[in-house]
Amino acid sequence: MDTTINERKLIFIFAYLLMWVSGIIVYVLFSYRDRTMKFHAVQAILLGIVITVIEILSIFLFFPVSIVANIFTILLYFYGLYVGYKAYKGVNIAMPVIGDMANQWD
């Protein structure tokens, strides 16, 4: 399954679209061929896990704190989309902490 340059670029955005779900799909289908795709797939998976954990914990938090946690997760989601967009443009961004963990994934 060969991918063109434009398809490859769209895969970067797709990896961050549904976070850990689309990250797993990209990881399974494309990580064996392309190290950059693997990095962004793992980074999307880890970001999705972080967002999911924060959302689950926010259920048990006091109301104003849960609102702040929800706003934070929305900002993290849009940051992930931004990272996917930058990868689409050819600029690789490693997220703090998550990017280091994704680089060690092998």
Q: What pLDDT does 3 receive?
A: 66
| Residue among 103, 106, 104, 101 at smallest CA distance from 49 | 101
* Axis-axis angle for helices 5-17, 63-88 (nearest 10): 170
Residue type, 105: W
Report d(CA 29, CA 26) in Å as an integer. Answer: 5
The distance from CA 68 to its chain's CA centroid, rounded to whole angstroms, is 21
pTM score of the predicted model: 0.89
3-class secondary structure, 80? helix
Separation in Å, CA 33 to CA 3, 22, 27, 55, 83: 10, 17, 10, 33, 21
Would you give per-residue pLDDT tens digits along the chain (106 residues)? 556 778 888 999 999 999 989 999 999 998 888 899 999 999 999 999 999 999 999 888 888 888 999 999 999 999 999 999 999 999 999 999 999 999 898 6
